[in-house]
Amino acid sequence: MSGKEILVDTNILIYLLDGNTIIEEVLKEKHIYISFITELELIGFKNISVKQEKLIKELLNDCTVLSLNEKIKNNYVSLRKNYSMKLADSIIAATSLATNIPLFSADKQLKQIKELDLLLFQNN
């Protein structure tokens, strides 16, 4: 990988949509990948305004969405067997492992996955 690629967790995109300038700077000039599960989480928000929906769609258009495949499935199964994690978090982490793209997340629980190349955002 070139160092310009990053897989972004749903929570990071939510902070970005809320105007977090630190995240904006980290993502600057990066090729942003997201898991299909992140796309579903974002477009499936309940009670979002038309303006918020438009912003989400514009953001998603700037990302490459990674679909489920056998390698991600295998990594998912391994993660679920070895760690106590939610389904969505396991899929996103499995996607990072399968693609060898670093994961940018604010989810501290992901630190338990030693094989994961994790950039952990500390939202203070």
The domain containing residue 41 runs over which residues?
Answer: 5-120
pLDDT in tens, 8-59: 999 999 999 999 999 999 999 999 999 999 999 999 988 888 888 899 999 9
Number of domains in the chain: 1
Closest-CA residue to 17 (of 65, 66, 46, 53) = 53
Question: Cα dihedral sign for 33, 37, 40, 42?
Answer: negative
Phi, psi for residue 6 in degrees, rounded to 5? -150, 140
State the pTM of this model: 0.92
CATH of the domain at 72: 3.40.50.1010
pLDDT in tens, 55-85: 999 999 999 999 999 999 999 999 999 998 9
